[in-house]
Structure 1
Amino acid sequence: MNRWLAFDTSTDVLSLAVAQGEQTWAKTLPGGAQASATLIPSVMDLLAQAGMPLASLDAIVFGRGPGSFTGLRTACSVAQGLALGAQLPVLPVDTLLAVAEEARLQAASPDSLTVLAMLDARMDEVYSAVYRWSAGAWTLLSQLQVGAPERVAVPVGPDVLLAGNVFDAYGARLPAGRCVQALPTAAALLRLAPALWASGYAVPADEAMPLYIRDKVAQTTAEREALKAVPPLPGQA
């Protein structure tokens, strides 16, 4: 029975959850600048509610990006600090994959689904990636990208869903299609965790690094090497 702690601070919403087998405890709080001050106390409170000491966890799952630079730094530093103290591995998860997973749940979990996942990148741009759900697993169909809303291309197919937090901000500048508001929730991270864990995505605590798309030079050499060591999703180059 897996025991996980998961959190995401990549957007203006702080989402965290813990799971013990099929039982889940979750909390949603304001994110942004507040996340750095509230994340650790909220984590400890949620673990106490669940009766799960930090050291009893299998891993700490976190949204590694893309997203807010400050938010990603917060998530990585907290994941690293907690995991080092409790001698736990960490499980980094792409935030756009979590958006796709949240959209899949809202779409009533069809047998197959293609999701164009998008997050607001500010500066008049969006982060985007295309994922395919089939045979109970996700495959990445396109590289993660950042660019103007008008440049986002919708994949061809009858079961395509556009998902993310970009629709209010960019509206008609986005391509047309069936849309659903979705964020990279901690609950989505928990649903993704077992398959990613089984596929070898867990890394030591000191390799909890953010995934940037817009600004690759912001990463240190150690961060770039750590990201190269993380195995790609099936179908990812």
Structure 2
Amino acid sequence: MKLLALDTTSGACSVALYDDGRITEQFVEAERDHTRRLLPMVDEVLAQGKLELAQVDALAVSRGPGSFTGLRIAISCVQGLAFAADKPVVPVSSLAALAAGARRKHPEWQQAPVVSALDARMGQIYWGVYSPKAPNCSLLPEAVQDPEQAVHVLRESDLPRELYGAGPGWHYPALEQAPVKVRDTEALIHARDIAELGALLWQNGVSMRAEELEPLYLRDEITWQKRQKIRSQ
């Protein structure tokens, strides 16, 4: 199968082409300029893969959680491309992609669950736990919580004793009490991992129409406040 994947969830912008297991990726760490960079990166990745957009089977994108602005940029771009090419979309958890990338970066983590954590601001984190046997599904419900709450949930859970931590959300001092063996605070989300996870979902029949795609914010009250502010302007 051929799948085009995009991500602008956090402080990086990346595009990847999955072509029957072979992956071509463009990745850049950029806090801003995602909107300007994304489409040229799509063109370059497709050119490197010697494919046209019409030749891909589907598009994959990080559905969140993550930066509100970042999620909207990637999702709106994928929707536009999917509409133009009449292609389905495969939504992938940003936390699952973070765990998959950390496991790829650290071969010694291959057999253990990875606890992904992204900074949700306001003193909270987005987090979830992903095993190599079911990389798209969190072993605990994905959540946005105070670091202390997350530590409590991890300690009270019946997860395996050997856990690893990945992602920039692990910078909070309270998370030093979490039952993880090692943590990588520099792990980032890559479109190549979204592509691989998206390919697994696609093979299991998971896809949707572009108009059905919506970001997963987790922090519903903040989303509601933003919508209310926009409506009042």
Work out whether residues 35 and 74 of structure 1, in 8 Å CA contact, stay in contact via their aligned partners in 2.
Answer: yes
After TM superposition, the structure 1 stretch with the greater mean CA deviation from structure 2, 207-216 or 65-74, is: 207-216
Deviations 1:14-37 (CA, angstroms, capped at 9, x unpaired): 121112123221111234431112
CA distance in 1, matches of 2:38, 2:139: 33
Compute the displacement of 1:179 (Å).
1.0
Task: Tell me the equivalent position of 2:230.
Answer: none
Q: How many residues align?
A: 216
Compute the displacement of 1:143 (Å).
1.0
Sequence identity (%): 34
Task: Tell me the equivalent position of 1:197.
Answer: 202
Compute the displacement of 1:137 (Å).
5.2
Q: Scaled by the length of structure 2, what TM-score is found?
A: 0.84
After TM superposition, the structure 1 stretch with the greater mean CA deviation from structure 2, 41-50 or 77-86, is: 41-50
Task: Tell me the equivalent position of 1:148.
Answer: 146
CA distance in 1, matches of 2:115, 2:192: 20
CA distance in 1, matches of 2:219, 2:3: 30
| Secondary structure in structure 2 of the residue aligned to 1:152 | helix
Compute the displacement of 1:110 (Å).
5.8
1:206 lines up with 2:211 in the alignment: yes
Q: Scaled by the length of structure 1, what TM-score is found?
A: 0.83
1:92 lines up with 2:76 in the alignment: no
Work out whether residues 118 and 168 of structure 2, in 8 Å CA contact, stay in contact via their aligned partners in 1.
Answer: yes
Larger helix proportion, structure 1 or 2? 2
What is the RMSD computed on CA atoms of the aligned residues? Answer: 2.1
CA distance in 1, matches of 2:77, 2:141: 27
Deviations 1:9-61 (CA, angstroms, capped at 9, x unpaired): 01011121112123221111234431112111211122112211000001111
Work out whether residues 3 and 199 of structure 2, in 8 Å CA contact, stay in contact via their aligned partners in 1.
Answer: no
Compute the displacement of 1:109 (Å).
6.6
1:158 lines up with 2:161 in the alignment: yes
Task: Tell me the equivalent position of 2:231.
Answer: none
